[in-house]
């Protein structure tokens, strides 16, 4: 199967079962027919026909390492997360400049045709491009919260562009790329960051037994990962909200994300609580208030709101918060519909747009696993830097387990 699969396979019970395709497999038909060159015609195969991206992004690795080590690096490369200080490789075969064309729009946005940037609105974080054929596409430059598999936390992906409104581009130009995974340079172009370039010393020590290592505080900070944790708050429709944190706000452990008074079924009691709150604001701050606090020190990068009732049914303070959120979503939708030629409720200018701007239906009174009922679900997403501490694994180029940190 030379020219189809890489040399890597899963180094465990799935050995030979789980295989990896090369960068450019010799598939000659949409039905999956393959043209296998074979060992006799190996001289006709290029590096992209022999290696996968996990192998190509570590130059010389697949040529010098034993097959088990290469397979292990390929498998562990699937779990790589961006770090605070990362750079492209020093010795390159060019793979880090072509990966843009083999991955999805979550990480890079590549122009399909010649065209122009017709819209760039930083207030809503949207960029709209128009191709010479008349088609339009859009991409989001806001911080997008994505689930990190079964890791128990989220990551914040954000596309970054150096293009301006009215600027023209050519087909296959890289219009935007994730700011953590790629480095954009006017000299070297847009390149994938393989990891953090650091100085390494080989020595015999109790801290370097087998595959362990010890690192400096500088390396610990350079290898810090951006981790996003969420905190969901469910509020009844009659809840009186006194304070709520905003996107971009810096918070520390124990800081309040939201302060509110629990809702009750009796409308008269809720009217009384609201009036008392206006007259004796300072006196009631310490009594009868529920406070949701953060367990992390970082930045609030996003807030998502889902409401299961109409705006008219909400308390005045809660209605103001939900209405403001709806207005921002509608502003995004209006901008996309301005350039969108199709009447698709979920896809606007080639991007999925499913943010709620009205009442949502809760299945079994639940939204995203939260028991909401008749009320509002507010999710706070807090980003902080998780440093490389003792017990964490460094991979794939220098696979080692950190067992000690030098101050």
Taking only the tens place, the pLDDT of each residue in 66-125 is 888 788 888 877 777 888 999 998 888 899 999 999 998 999 999 999 999 999 999 999
DSSP element (H, E) containing 127? strand 126-131
Distance CA 196, CA 199 (A): 10
Mean pLDDT lowest among 46-50, 245-249, 303-307: 46-50
What pLDDT shows up at residue 338? 92
Coil, helix or strand at residue 157: strand
Residue 285's pLDDT band, with cuts at 50, 70 and 90, is very low
Adjacent-strand bridge partners of 302: 381
Q: What is the mean pLDDT of residues 27-33?
A: 86
| 17 has pLDDT over 70 | yes
Q: From the CB of residue 350, how many other CB atoms can be counted at a distance below 10 Å?
A: 18
The position carrying tokens 């801290």 is: 207
pTM: 0.83
pLDDT higher than 90, residue 276: no
- Mean pLDDT, rounded, for 378-400: 84
Residue recorded with tokens 């290029």: 46
> What are 139-151's pLDDT values in tens digits?
999 989 988 766 6
Q: Could you tell me the pLDDT band of residue 54, with boundaries at 50, 70 and 90?
A: confident
Query: Omega of the bond prior to 337 within 30 degrees of 0, cis?
Result: no
Task: Kindly list the domain boundaries of the chain, sorted by start residue.
Answer: 5-79, 95-192, 206-224+387-406, 226-386
Residue 286 has pLDDT above 90, yes or no: no
| pLDDT at residue 168 in the model | 96
Total Cβ atoms within 10 A of residue 47:
16
Q: Tell me the average pLDDT across 181-204.
A: 89
In the chain, what percentage of residues exceed pLDDT 90?
45
pLDDT digits (tens, 9 = 90+) for 324-360: 999 999 999 999 999 997 888 889 999 988 888 999 9
- The Cα-based distances of 263 to 133, 146, 232, 238, 277 in angstroms read 55, 32, 17, 5, 14
Give per-residue burial for 369-387: e unless 16+ CB within 10 Å, then b.
Answer: ebebeebbbbbbbbbbebb
Phi-psi region for residue 94, left (φ > 0), alpha (ψ -120 to 50) or beta? Answer: left
Among residues 198, 223, 226, 202, the alpha carbon closest in space to that of 390 is found at: 223
Q: What pLDDT, on a 0 to 100 scale, did the predictor assign at position 194?
A: 86
- Minimum mean pLDDT range among 47-61, 175-189, 318-332: 47-61
Residues 252-267: what's their mean pLDDT? Answer: 81
Cα separation, 381 vs 148, in Å, equals 14
How are strands ordered across the β-sheet holding 250-251? 144-147, 154-157, 225-236, 375-386, 298-307, 250-251
| pLDDT tens per residue across span 193-206 | 988 888 888 888 88
Ranges 227-236, 240-249, 285-294: which has the least confidence: 285-294
Whether residue 402 contacts residue 216, with contact meaning beta carbons closer than 8 Å, is answered with: no
273 by DSSP, 3-state: which?
Answer: helix
* CATH no. for 95-192: 2.40.50.100
Q: What is the mean pLDDT of residues 181-190?
A: 90
């Amino acid at each position: 199967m030379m020219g189809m699969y890489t040399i890597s396979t899963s180094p465990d019970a799935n050995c030979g079962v789980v295989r990896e395709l090369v960068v450019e497999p010799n598939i000659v038909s949409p039905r999956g027919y393959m043209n296998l060159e074979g060992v006799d015609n190996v001289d006709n195969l290029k590096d992209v026909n022999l290696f996968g991206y996990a192998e190509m992004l570590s130059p010389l690795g697949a040529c010098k390492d034993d097959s088990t080590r290469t397979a292990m690096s390929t498998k562990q490369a699937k779990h790589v997360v961006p770090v605070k200080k990362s750079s492209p490789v020093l010795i390159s075969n060019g793979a880090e400049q072509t990966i843009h064309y083999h991955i999805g729009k979550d990480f890079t946005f590549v122009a399909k045709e010649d065209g122009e940037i017709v819209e760039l609105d930083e207030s809503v974080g949207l960029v709209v491009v128009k191709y010479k054929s008349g088609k339009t596409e859009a991409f989001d430059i806001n911080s997008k919260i994505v689930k990190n598999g079964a890791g128990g936390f989220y990551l914040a992906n954000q596309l970054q562009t150096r293009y301006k409104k009215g600027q023209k581009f050519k087909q296959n130009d890289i219009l935007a790329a994730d700011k953590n995974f790629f480095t954009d340079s006017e000299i070297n172009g847009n390149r994938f960051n393989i990891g953090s370039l650091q100085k390494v010393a080989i020595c015999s020590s109790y801290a370097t037994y087998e595959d362990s290592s010890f690192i400096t505080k500088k390396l610990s900070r350079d290898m810090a990962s951006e981790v996003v944790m969420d905190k969901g708050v469910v509020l009844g429709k009659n809840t009186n909200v006194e304070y709520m944190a905003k996107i971009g706000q810096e918070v520390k452990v124990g800081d309040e994300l939201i302060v509110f008074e629990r809702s009750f079924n009796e409308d008269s009691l809720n009217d009384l609580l609201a009036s008392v709150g206006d007259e004796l604001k300072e006196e009631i701050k310490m009594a009868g208030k529920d406070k949701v606090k953060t367990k992390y020190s970082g930045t609030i990068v996003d807030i998502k709101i889902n409401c299961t009732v109409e705006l008219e049914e909400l308390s005045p303070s809660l209605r103001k918060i939900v209405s403001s959120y709806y207005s921002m979503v509608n502003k995004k939708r209006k901008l996309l519909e301005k350039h969108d030629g199709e009447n698709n409720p979920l896809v606007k200018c080639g991007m999925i747009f499913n943010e709620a701007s009205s009442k949502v239906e809760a299945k079994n009174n639940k939204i995203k696993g939260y028991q909401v009922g008749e009320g509002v679900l507010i999710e706070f997403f807090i980003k902080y830097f998780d440093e490389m501490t003792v017990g964490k694994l460094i991979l794939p180029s220098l696979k080692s387990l950190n067992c000690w940190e030098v101050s």
